[in-house]
Structure 1
Amino acid sequence: MMHQLYPQVAHHYRYELNKDMQIAAAHFIPHEAAGRCANVHGHTYIVNVTVAGDELDESGFLVNFQTLKKLVHGKLDHTLLNDHTDWFDRYDPNRFPTTEVVARTIYEIVQGYLDALPHKPKCLQVFVRESPTSYVVYRPKAGER
């Protein structure tokens, strides 16, 4: 995987962890305004998840890299995103598998996992590159972190 620099989030936490993943997946956008993207097509997505916190867990991790990979890569790699009806919805534009929604949904899944940890790390941003020239960054608003 090519090393990349990602937009940074200013924060006050002691630790910042970044996990890169490459996900091969197909999708389609179920709306006539999507043009050619309404047809099934695939991408090799590059995903970066940024997690921060002040405390480490009992094993010395902010969060285990393998856990992040399982939550995201393990779910989405080599799949049709539209088939994940627990993450995406063909009738609600806020849940179409656009790159914006993919980034937000990954954030929601990761943060949901982190919320259950006793040391309470936070997901600061999710970066999803769909192609060499197109990417989305999702960050919760400051009050939502």
Structure 2
Amino acid sequence: MMHQLYPQVMHPYRYELNKDMHIAAAHFIPHEAAGSCANVHGHTYIVNVTIAGDELDESGFLVNFQTIKQLVHGKLDHTLLNDHSDWFDGHDPNRFPTTEVVARTIYETIQRYLDTLPHKPTCLQVFVRETPTSYVVYRPKAGER
């Protein structure tokens, strides 16, 4: 069981949902400046997605936790991140599978899904812990939501 505190986002919404996931995945950073991270290696990532909104859907959910898990864990768990060419690219540094890009891409994927919902919840942040001492938080800039 995960018991973790995450950076909080102040917001005006009535509801805030947080979904935690463990994702076991390998990756490599295709750049000489990555040092040993240019070699294939793995992590057990801890991911937290924060979603907020004012209205619940017809089933009483802001968003179904299972759907969020399927969008992220269902795609990435026990895979080589570099193989997901729809998410990552070995030529564009803005799409290398770094922790920063993983967090941003999870946000973009979740937000695309949320945009299809009639009650329009919003993804406030994605937290990705790569190691016990290193993590990234991705938040869209004001006005980008």
Q: TM-score when scaled to structure 2? A: 0.99
Runs of 4+ in 1 over 3 A off after TM superposition: none
User: Which string of whole-angstrom CA distances, capped at 9 and with x for unpartnered residues, describes residues 113-145 of structure 1?
Assistant: 000000000000000000000000000011112
Partner of 2:143, secondary structure, is helix
Trace 1:3-22 onto structure 2 (pairs within 5 A): 3-22=3-22
Verify: 1:87 aligned to 2:62, yes or no.
no
- In 1, the alpha carbon distance for the partners of 2:119 and 2:125 equals 19
- In 2, the alpha carbon distance for the partners of 1:8 and 1:72 equals 21
Residue 51 of structure 1 aligns with which residue?
51
- In 2, the alpha carbon distance for the partners of 1:103 and 1:122 equals 15
| Structure 2: runs of 5+ lacking an equivalent | none
- In 2, the alpha carbon distance for the partners of 1:91 and 1:112 equals 24
Trace 1:29-40 onto structure 2 (pairs within 5 A): 29-40=29-40
The percentage of aligned residue pairs carrying the same residue is 89
- In 1, the alpha carbon distance for the partners of 2:36 and 2:131 equals 15
| Superposition RMSD in Å | 0.4
| Structure 1: runs of 5+ lacking an equivalent | none
- In 2, the alpha carbon distance for the partners of 1:29 and 1:40 equals 8
2:71 partner amino acid: L
User: Which string of whole-angstrom CA distances, capped at 9 and with x for unpartnered residues, describes residues 72-128 of structure 1?
Assistant: 000000000000000000000000000000000000000000000000000000000
2:125 partner amino acid: Q
- In 2, the alpha carbon distance for the partners of 1:3 and 1:79 equals 25
- In 2, the alpha carbon distance for the partners of 1:29 and 1:138 equals 19
- In 1, the alpha carbon distance for the partners of 2:119 and 2:2 equals 32
Q: TM-score when scaled to structure 1? A: 0.99
Q: How many residues align?
A: 145
1:106 partner amino acid: I
| 1:24 to partner: Cα distance | 0.1
